[in-house]
Amino acid sequence: MKSVLIIGVGQFGSHIAKRMEELRCEVMAVDINEECINEIMPYVTDAMIGDGTNEEFLRSLGIGNYDVCIVALGGLFQTSLETTSLLKELGAKKVISRATNDVQMKFLLRNGADEVVYPEKQMALRVATKYASDSILDFIQLDNNYSIYELKIPRNCYGKTLSDIDIRKKYKVNILTIKRGNDVFIPSSDTVLGENDIAFVIGEMRDIQKCFRI
């Protein structure tokens, strides 16, 4: 069970806090706004009103005891930057901070953040990719090269086996699983692809686009 400190429980931070609690983490939520603390209190292990830029307050939390510290502050970037830097100075094992643009990301990484999340950009990429083609049902970008797509099987593959289409050799694309009705399974080379099948595939974006003509 991981212990997690989340500083900033507005809309973004509260979603993280609730989900991590569901995943059986011990969550300490901190926010300077009393209303935010009152709203999140029923969903987390503990919650406190406090200022993430106050060194003595952070020190009192025992920063080094948390497995992960998440800075989910919105509003003034300076506050997020100061909080991130202080957490690292006080011995935080891992600091994850939120950015809203590329410049913020660079500064956070230079000032103590081990990892930076950029929810607006990540969601924009996901939405743009998903709705660029009727074949794409969902999309997860793993890094700058590799992605996982949830795709409708194209018409030209109906009735063919994975061995027949041989996309791994031709396009360097792997089908991870097939969803058929309510069943999800790992296909074999002799699995016949059907009209209503959904494929979860991994590979480089350009190769997947060529392979499935999206």
CA distance 159 to 190: 11
Mean pLDDT, range 164-180, rounded to an integer: 88
Average pLDDT score, the chain: 90
pLDDT tens track for 115-171: 999 888 777 877 777 777 778 888 887 776 788 889 898 888 889 888 888 888 888
Distance of CA 35 to the CA centre of its chain: 27
pLDDT at position 214 is 57
Find residue 46's DSSP bridge partners.
Answer: 28
Mean pLDDT of the 101-126 span: 88
Query: How many whole angstroms separate alpha carbon 172 and alpha carbon 105?
Result: 32
3-state secondary structure the chain: CCEEEEECCCHHHHHHHHHHHHCCCEEEEEECCHHHHHHHHHHCCEEEECCCCCHHHHHHCCHHHCCEEEECCCCCHHHHHHHHHHHHHCCCCCEEEECCCHHHHHHHHHCCCCEEECHHHHHHHHHHHHCCCCCEEEEEECCCCEEEEEEECCHHHCCCEHHHHCHHHHHCCEEEEEEECCEEECCCCCCECCCCCEEEEEEEHHHHHHHHCC
- Residue with the bigger pLDDT between 71 and 210: it is 71
Average pLDDT over residues 8-25: 93
How far is Cα 137 from Cα 199, in angstroms, rounded to an integer? Answer: 10
State pLDDT tens for residues 40-67: 999 999 999 999 999 999 999 999 999 9
**In the beta sheet, which residues pair with residue 30?**
7, 48
